Amino acid sequence: MNFWTDRRVAVTGGAGFLGRSVMRKLRERGCLQVYAPRSRDHDLREQEAVKRMYERARPDLVIHLAGSVGGIGANQRYPGRFFYDNLMMGAHLLEQARRFDVPKFVGIGSVCAYPKATPVPFREENLWDGYPEETNAAYGLAKKMMLVQGQAYRAEFGFNAIHLLLSNLYGPGDNLDPETSHGLASMVRKFVDARNQGHDHVTLWGDGSPTREFLYVEDAAEGILLASELYDLPEPINLGSGVEISISDLASKIRNLSGFAGRVRWDRNRPNGQPRRCVDVTRARKHFGFEAATTLDEGLQKMISWYEKQPPRE
């Protein structure tokens, strides 16, 4: 608790899906000086806007959560936008943090940075063994450059930047926009809507064979704050649940938990994405005692219950 009491913290993306959980946990820890820049006031892709943010916040710690993100479809439609936005935000925020002598920078990366054929479970030392899966390579590589920049600044300037590689997140408050949502959120929306509207089937992308790992958003926020407090080394660290599940099995879980009685159809003309994903969580457990506390069934039930309470979409 003492770590956070008098610390000035800047949280980019503080109004977003993960950011809201991080902000809530900061308040619970007694952190009273938190600044969460909004995009309407600070376009973090612009160097001058980032300078103004640092002048206003004067942080002791930066947690960089902001990003241009989406599921497979959005990554295919906007690879240039995702690359540029994420690259520029990371580069400007790190450079100005160095210039403003910020004591610590926490960069949030992605499992998408791992090579397409990484052996499961993904270990941090495998991060540079190949090129990422094509449908999200632009996003993954832009995030990966933040790791490179942070390590370079540590080597030349002694700047304390750490880098966390997050697994796929989910939970109440997730993005459910059909154009940009991730796969799990899209499934929740589709199954609940199909149940409510009396449909006899739901169509999902791919063939159901890929595997994924999912981290409940509150658990991710807890891991980020633990790393912010306790981890100060240059090597990246995975944050995940360590539990692998196929997309077809995930669909069955959501179908059953939502009470949908119809069939699942797989659209094999749509991409599967990376064949397998699941990270090794040993390093996070060793260095700052992080373990995911929420099982997938628990998290899915909370997410479905949350979505059922949302007003009908237009």
Contacts of 209 (CB under 8 A, 6+ apart): 246, 247, 248, 272, 275
How high is the pLDDT of residue 75? 85
How high is the pLDDT of residue 158? 98
How high is the pLDDT of residue 1? 54
Q: How far apart are CA 28 and CA 244, in angstroms?
A: 31
Task: Write out the catalytic residue numbers.
Answer: 139
Q: Which mean pLDDT values do the consecutive 10-residue runs of the chain (314 residues) have?
A: 90 96 96 92 95 97 94 88 97 98 98 95 97 94 98 98 97 89 92 96 95 97 98 98 97 97 95 92 98 98 96 70
How high is the pLDDT of residue 262? 96
Instruction: Return the residue matching tokens 């949502």.
Output: 181
CA distances for 168 relative to 80, 144, 220, 223, 240, angstroms: 21, 16, 10, 14, 8
How high is the pLDDT of residue 186? 93
Do the beta carbons of residue 258 and residue 217 sit within 8 Å? no
Contacts of 114 (CB under 8 A, 6+ apart): 122, 126, 127, 132, 140, 165, 277
How high is the pLDDT of residue 104? 98
Burial profile 208-224: b = 16 or more Cβ within 10 angstroms, e = fewer: bebbbbbbbbbbbbbbb
How high is the pLDDT of residue 118? 96
Amino acid at 64: H
How high is the pLDDT of residue 313? 66
Of 167, 164, 166, 186, nearest in space to 175 by CA: 186
CA distances for 234 relative to 45, 100, 139, 149, 158, angstroms: 25, 20, 22, 11, 11
Do the beta carbons of residue 195 and residue 260 sit within 8 Å? yes
The pTM score is 0.95
Do the beta carbons of residue 116 and residue 134 sit within 8 Å? yes
3-state secondary structure (DSSP) of residue 285: helix
Do the beta carbons of residue 301 and residue 257 sit within 8 Å? yes
- The two tokens of residue 8 are 């000035």
Amino acid at 258: S
Cα angle for residues 177, 262, 167 (degrees, 5° grid) = 40
